[in-house]
Amino acid sequence: MAVAVATGMSPLGLGNDGLGSLRHPAQCCGVSVLKPGLGRVPDATTVAGAQASAIGAQLMNVNGPLPRRVVDLQVAYEVIAGYTWRDPWSVPAPLRGPGPGKPIRVALVVDPAGQGTAKQVQDAVRAAARALEDAGYVVEELEPPSIELAWPASGSR
């Protein structure tokens, strides 16, 4: 879908993302994407059967838009986000709300679970953190709790 959007075959793509199925292709093709939170975009086209996903997969998999430009994300969300009775995870959350409190805190994870992130990736992440600090954000380097349990909980094999 990202290639179709990037080459102008479609102004907008729709897909789902659990472990990067929207984000990775968008990155490779130079188009925009924002993985929505659980329930933001309802999954109203199917009903899970007896082979329903593990709870971890249910909590990670979300539907979302894949537009060409960041500005088009807002329009896409206005059309596809919202509540439906067909999806028990969907939420009637507004798309606009109050801004975040100040200062805005950002977690910096350079090498998750000490698995050996490439030096150029670590350097780029730290450069992004410096840019955020320069913009007034509070950046704290940390390790996500129980990250080693995330993969088994996802139901992935």
pLDDT per position as a tens digit, 79-124: 999 998 888 888 998 888 888 888 999 999 999 888 889 999 999 9
Q: Rounded distance, CA 59 to CA 94, Å?
A: 20
- β-pairing, 105-108 vs 12-17, is unpaired
Range from 14-28, 53-67, 139-153 that averages highest in pLDDT: 14-28
Residue 40 confidence class, pLDDT cut points 50, 70, 90: very high
- Containing structural domain, residue 21: 2-80
Q: Is residue 95 part of a domain?
A: no
Percentage of the chain surpassing pLDDT 70?
91
Q: Is residue 14 part of a domain?
A: yes
Residues 75 and 17 in one domain: yes
Q: Rounded distance, CA 39 to CA 7, Å?
A: 30
Q: Rounded distance, CA 107 to CA 135, Å?
A: 15
Cβ atoms of 138 and 104 closer than 8 Å: yes
Greatest CA separation found in the chain? 51
Mean pLDDT of 24-49: 83
pLDDT the model gives residue 50? 42
Last residue within a domain, chosen from 63, 80, 97: 80
Last residue within a domain, chosen from 65, 80, 95: 80
Strand, helix or coil for residue 38: coil
Cβ atoms of 45 and 8 closer than 8 Å: no
Average pLDDT, the chain: 87
Q: Is residue 86 part of a domain?
A: no
Q: Is residue 141 part of a domain?
A: yes
Cβ atoms of 63 and 14 closer than 8 Å: yes
The reply to whether the predicted model has a pTM over 0.85 is no
